[in-house]
Structure 1
Amino acid sequence: MAAAVARVVIDSPLPQLDHLFDYAIPDGLDGVAAGVRVRVPLRSAGRVADAFVVEVADESEHAGALSPVDALVSTVPVLSHEVWTLARAVADRVAGTASDVLRLAVPKRQVRVEKAYAAAGSPAVPPAPGGVEPVSGYAGSDLDEGIAAGGRFVVDAIPTLTSLSDGASVGSWAVTAARLAANTAARGRQTIVSVPDHRDLDQLDAALHALGVGAVVLRFDAAQPSADRYRSFLTALGDGPHIVIGNRSSLYAPASRLGLLVVVEDGDPLHREPLAPYAHSRDVALVRQSQSGAALVLLSHARSVDAERLVELGYLSPVSPSPSVRPRVVLAEDPPGEASARIPATAWALAREALVSGPVLVQVARPGYAPVVACASCGTAATCARCHGPLGVARRGAPPQCGVCGAVAAPWRCDVCEGSSLRLVSRGSGRTAEELGRAFPGARVVVADGEHRVLTLPATPALVVATRGAEPIAAGGYRAVLLLDGERMLARESLTIAEDAMRWWSNAAALAAPRAPVVLAGVSGPLAQAFAAGTHATFAARELADRRALGFPPSIRTVTVTGPIDAVTAAVDGLHDVGIRDVLGPTPVDDGGVRSIVRFDYRVGADVARELRAALIRNATARRRPIAGRPQRAVPSLRLHFDDPEVWT
């Protein structure tokens, strides 16, 4: 007897629709099976909605008559059981809706690609690559055996570059991740590797092809054409030993025989999903690992504080390379009593010496020419007359321009002293390049920032001025690395600023040639000393201890509740019975509502999410009684954001 009931999840952000609905499968509507796309009627809304079939059954627990499935969109089962259970668990953890997660997991349908996939039938399963080879650089560790056994590790990446067979240079971290993935594929299992951005993705792709496993690599890249992304997704539905590489959404890729999950630089903010329900790549990987039993690796040059917490709990095992591969770090400051310079004399000397033999990297804090300008008379920071955003100068001789709305402030007048002259306060990449060009006449100067995209460089002498995260890879490595503006970076008000700075500096240091000097200018104290000594794990442990003493994440969890004051108050009041720590706020926000921050322990996380989800549903289904003669205003929504570090900025 054919199944008569389709149990579906409706594509809707409304929390009251975030559960499975039963629909009758009409006679003659063939092809309705688990995972396919369908359209179903919504009685209350009087319209048809898109949905995924989660399962089919012979009968329904609903006592009344079932509405029939309206249409079968496609017979290709694009929602696998593994992805559905992951989406449900991730949504439940942060009081979100499964449909929001599924929008990240299942790409939009591309009809031509799907028809070609269906016409081709079952694709041939590519053979597993060659034998397993040990991961180099981690002698004495049980990393290979642990991966095969489904272990969980935090791995400190080797801070060097590696030359591939074609002569290209990539980070050694990419070779490590590629070897782990190739070994997993050789065992007939699948791998997912999530990296922060396209630069990392290109390095990883090159390392995988150099190992001869390019035939099983599937790229999930946000910058891909939609057709290519969907083609990779459909291929991943198969049972082959695929290696899926991509950005944060790649962690939702279908993989029925998953053997390894790798998250590269889990402390990078690009791993934070900006769309609801705001799940972090690390948390998605942890949930998927617990469901699948696959191995898990967090790979980075600077261990995140979140990863350190998991190490101290015994959930992750640490693996480190030999101390002999540490960069040669020099802490450079001007002698006491002398005027402080942006580039100390020691750094100048090392840069001049290194420039003779190859490229020198100069890392700066900000792009542009002068990101901050001030009144020449009173020193007050200059702001835009239209939106009060900060004014800056994009290039030499250009008029000041707002960094928020883009308005040109010419003429400009100070609100405090009525002065009309400006002075340059900060130096961006453009101004730094101009100054270095004067200091090193005849030297080639290259700018790499958000406006100037440079990915690779030859081994010829050049001064490379780059903002953090935009540093190109130089063939053979940089002959010296100068890290400027450290004090300015650390001046930013953020809970994670010390952790971020350690990551920025460590990633830049990993681009240096062997034994090339890495100069950290103008920064001292425990953070600089930990960076110079290579004791990143000790720094992360100390940072975690400080946050634990203050009750800050990740020692505890938080949720930000934003909305109208009555809704926020009701939602927060419902949490006192589940054992939360405390509530900060409410405080006003820009849209007229308020915000409260709830702090709670990990052990009550599921209870907090459940209570807040119930509050979301109550708020979404509430209706105001209309008043005759007055237009009815929309009810402000209640918004939740779990584990948001930006609230501490």
Structure 2
Amino acid sequence: MAGGAVARVLVDSPLPQLDQLFDYAVPERLRATARPGVRVRMPLRTGGRIADGWLVELAESSEYGGALSELEEVVSEVPLLVPEVWALARAVADRAAGNASDVLRLAIPSRYVRAERSWLAAPGDPGTLPESPPPIHGSASGRVEAGIAHGERMAIAADPRPLRLPSGEWVGAWAVTLAQAAAHALAADRSALLVVPDYRDQEQLEAVLAASVDPRRVLRTDARQSGGDRYRAFLDATRDDARIIVGNRSAIYAPAPRLGLIAIWDDGDPLLNEPLAPGVHPRDAALVRQEQSGAALLLAAHTRSVEVARLVEIGWVHDVVPAGHAKPKVIPTEQQAALEPGSARIPSAAWRQAQEAVREGPVLVQVARPGNAPALACDRCREPARCVACGGALAIPRDGGEPRCVLCGTSAAAWRCPVCDGTKLRAVTVGASRTAEELGRAFPKARIILSDGERPVLAVGPQPALVVATRGAEPIADGGYRAVLLLDGERMLLRESLRVAEDCLRWWSNATALGAPGAAVFLVGVGGALATALATWKQGEWARGELATRRALRFPPAVRVASITSPPAAVARATDAVRVVDGVDVLGPAAVDDGLERAIVRFDYAAGARVARELRAEMIRVATERRRPVAGRGPRRPPVLRVRFDDPEVP
């Protein structure tokens, strides 16, 4: 087609065969509003229905020789899909054998007409740029400042202590480092993306930014906002003014003009794992976006993830040695056979320290799980006790009696260990509520504060108190905790996962960093390399050793993996398609639910693009396969082929 405008459109659909640009004619009535980046509606010839999509680009002609269908309408005249976000979505989708439209669904919030109209009517004042921001906390000789100016990729160990802001509020020192780094990028009239695991971290970052930059230059984007507020923040991000954008995992896709910095806090936190297709981790998306934009990348954490350790080892990310960090006072201790009276599962040394410290201020007690009921394991081999009926965890009811399943309530009176054939059970951990009750009886004059997923507490004052918190729900304490007790370490390590040791070290390190300078931190019931890494505060060395072990076993992240789930015949065809690629090996398949099988494909990073193409082609073949109905049985179930690259649940 020549002589008229042609719109190249991405259909908003999860079907893999539609993950491409389709040409449509732009009718005369839409010529003024059909611009790249706008939402549009257009006909699909299959079924004659109208579909939603994104106008990616305009062209003068089409390679298609026939008559083009016309666009139905322009839904919104605001170009929400900016070119850099489209390039990022296309790249990460191709890397994960996914659909670009699925990535855009994460990147661009739902439209709110009222918010859009008010935004168009009132452009707003973007505020002023900071002048001469202070040196970045923890940066040795301006190393991070220079890295931001030159667009480097950097990994830094955060300062393990809380800091007091001029407003009197206390935050983690890591939040000060990231906020000051963003201020340096903003001072150069460049945007910054700050990605954190959850709202607790976001609150700390926003508190620091409120005291250091013009609040009008800071945009928040997360699921806790109302739909209208989130959409308005996204619209603000599409303007040409440099901004600091703070949010959770989907914030990595936010539009950011003249991007100067991408910073991620604690990239190994499981909350950053993207559950929605195509399941791209924000760290991987950040690496792609950094390469496309030339912005600086800053990965900060108390415990370096094994993925970042690999990037540092191969030289793709530079290791920044922090300056002026004091090492916490961590004391590993084994469980004692004889406990102090009333001290439950707390060793005597930690018990005495808690008694002394609680007179001066708050004391943190970290536990593994919420609730009251103790979790049970085999007394002989420590295998977690599971229900024979449904596989749920076994626990002792609050009112006592025989152990029961926490899910289906089945009695476990005749339980037998499937590993060692033992019949005796032991309590390996007690929930946060029960721990708070026990400590309340043991410390009758102390105030008890409970913080977990159902009763979150963001901050506590400097007054004496015992704060019982589940992992990840520890509040910030004014001045830091006077002592920290890390309980249930043995129970945390019982979880079946490749990453269990890394996760535990992260939970313990983050809780340790909440202590006041010089405060004693007791790690209870854990020894070996993990306890040594925490006590010496050399988590980076532990991550390097863990990487070497995984490389010997060909476990991620030494190699990449992809999981394939489908009926047996489709799994066989998909695995045969990728076996021809050099460096690929296949584990399985193994049976899963509903008659499906699952296979794991392992491959080197250099082979990732080809493996993704082969599996993508197989997904399209399965999705477009025609199946005839069986007489008397109705229509057959549509075929299923699910592919997930870098699956966090593998192995």
TM-score bracket, shorter-length normalisation: over 0.9
2:81 alignment partner, SS class: coil
Deviations 1:575-597 (A, max 9, x none): 12221331000100012110000
Distance 1:380 1:568 in 2: 33
Query: Following TM superposition, by how much is the alpha carbon of 1:526 offset from its aligned partner in structure 2, in angstroms?
Result: 1.3
Q: CA RMSD in A?
A: 2.4
**Aligned residue among 519, 522, 525 for 1:519:** 522
CA distance in 2, matches of 1:429, 1:559: 37
The reply to whether residue 606 of structure 1 matches residue 605 of structure 2 is: no
- Deviation, structure 1 residue 155: 1.0
Aligned to 1:541: 544
Aligned to 2:40: 38
AA partner of residue 622 (structure 1): E
Query: 2: CA distance between counterparts of 1:314 and 1:77?
Result: 38
Secondary structure of the 1:330 match is: strand
**Shift of residue 438, structure 1, vs aligned partner:** 2.0
The more displaced of 33-42 and 321-330 is 321-330
Q: C-alpha distance in 1, partners of 2:384/2:197?
A: 34
Q: What displacement does 1:330 show?
A: 1.2
For residues 51 and 569 of structure 1, the distance between their equivalents in structure 2, rounded to whole angstroms, comes to 34
Alignment TM-score, normalising by the size of structure 1: 0.94
Residue 647 of structure 1 deviates from its aligned partner by 2.2
Q: Distance in 1 between matches of 2:603 and 2:252?
A: 27
TM-superposed CA distance for 1:624, in Å, is 1.1
Q: Which moved more, 1:525-534 or 1:594-603?
A: 525-534
* Structure 1 residue aligned with 2:512: 509
Matches within 5 A, 1:30-109: 30-109=32-111
1:322 and 1:374, CA in 2 relative to 1: closer, same or farther beyond 3 A? closer
Change (3 A) 1:89 1:324: closer
SS in 1 for 2:561: strand
Partner in structure 1 of residue 480 of structure 2: 477
Measured against aligned partners, the alpha-carbon deviations of 1:397-436 in whole angstroms (never above 9, x if no partner) come to: 79987544xx556xx463559xxx9986631111111221
**What aligned pairs does 1:105-144 form with structure 2 within 5 A after superposition?**
105-120=107-122, 122-140=123-141, 142-144=143-145
- For residues 372-411 of structure 1, the aligned pairs below 5 Å read 372=375, 387-392=390-395, 395=398, 403-404=406-407
Q: Which residue of 1 aligns with 2:365?
A: 362
Q: Secondary structure at the match of 1:144?
A: helix
Q: Residue in 1 aligned with 2:558?
A: 555
Query: Partners of 1:299 and 1:189 in 2: how far apart?
Result: 20
Quote the residue 1:183 is aligned against.
Answer: 184
* Structure 1 residue 305 displacement after superposition: 0.6
Kindly tell me the number of residue pairs found equivalent between the two proteins.
637
SS of residue paired to 1:38 = strand
The 1:558/1:48 distance shift into structure 2, 3 A limit, reads same
Segments of 5+ residues of structure 2 without an aligned counterpart are 417-423
**Contact 1:165/1:210, CA 8 A, preserved across alignment:** yes
Aligned-partner residue type, residue 430 of structure 1: S
Distance between the aligned counterparts of 2:494 and 2:633, measured in 1?
51
Deviation at 1:645, TM superposition (A): 2.9
Asked if structure 2 preserves the Cα contact closer than 8 Å seen for 1:365 and 1:489, the reply is yes
- AA aligned opposite 1:92: D
Q: Name the CA distance, whole Å, in 1 between partners of 2:14 and 2:606.
A: 27
Partner of 2:632: 629
- Per-residue CA shift, 1:448-497, capped at 9, x if unaligned? 11122111111111111111000011111100001111111112221111
Q: Are 2:355 and 1:352 aligned?
A: yes
1:468 and 2:474 correspond: no
Letter in 2 for 1:110: Y
Aligned to 1:157: 158
C-alpha spacing 1:401/1:70, structure 2 compared with 1 (3 Å): farther
Aligned-pair distance for 1:132? Answer: 3.3
Q: Is the 8 A contact 1:369 1:396 kept in 2?
A: no
**TM-superposed deviation, 1:625:** 2.0
Distance in 2 between residues matched to 1:641 and 1:396, nearest whole Å: 44
Match of 1:414 in 2: 413
Q: Distance in 2 between matches of 1:383 and 1:168?
A: 45
* Secondary structure of 2:148's aligned partner: helix
* Aligned residue identity for 1:389: G
Seen in structure 2, the aligned counterparts of structure 1 residues 635 and 60 have a Cα distance that, compared at 3 Å, is same
Q: CA separation in 2, counterparts of 1:400 and 1:167?
A: 49
Contact 2:8–2:58 (Cα < 8 Å) also in 1:
yes
Q: For the structure 1 residues 175 and 382, does the alpha-carbon distance in structure 2 shift closer, same or farther, using more than 3 Å as the test?
A: closer
Report the Cα offset of residue 443 of structure 1. 1.2
Match of 2:517, SS state, is coil
Shift of 1:320: 3.0
Q: What residue in structure 1 maps to residue 237 of structure 2?
A: 236
Pair 1:159–1:620, CA change in 2 (3 A): same
Does the 8 A contact of 1:395 with 1:430 survive in 2?
Answer: no
Preserved contact between residue 369 and residue 393 of structure 1 (Cα < 8 Å):
no
- Counterpart residue number, 2:254: 253
Kept in 1, the 8 Å contact 2:368–2:429? The answer is: no
Name the aligned partner's letter for residue 100 of structure 1: D
Deviations 1:518-567 (A, max 9, x none): 11112111111111001111111001001111110000000000011111
Paired position in structure 1 for 2:171: 170
Tell me, yes or no, if the aligned pair for 2:333 and 2:524 is still in contact at 8 Å. Answer: yes
> 1:19 aligns to what?
20
* SS of residue matched to 1:66: coil
TM-score of the aligned structures, taking structure 2 as reference length: 0.93
- For residue 278 of structure 1, report the CA deviation from its aligned partner: 0.4
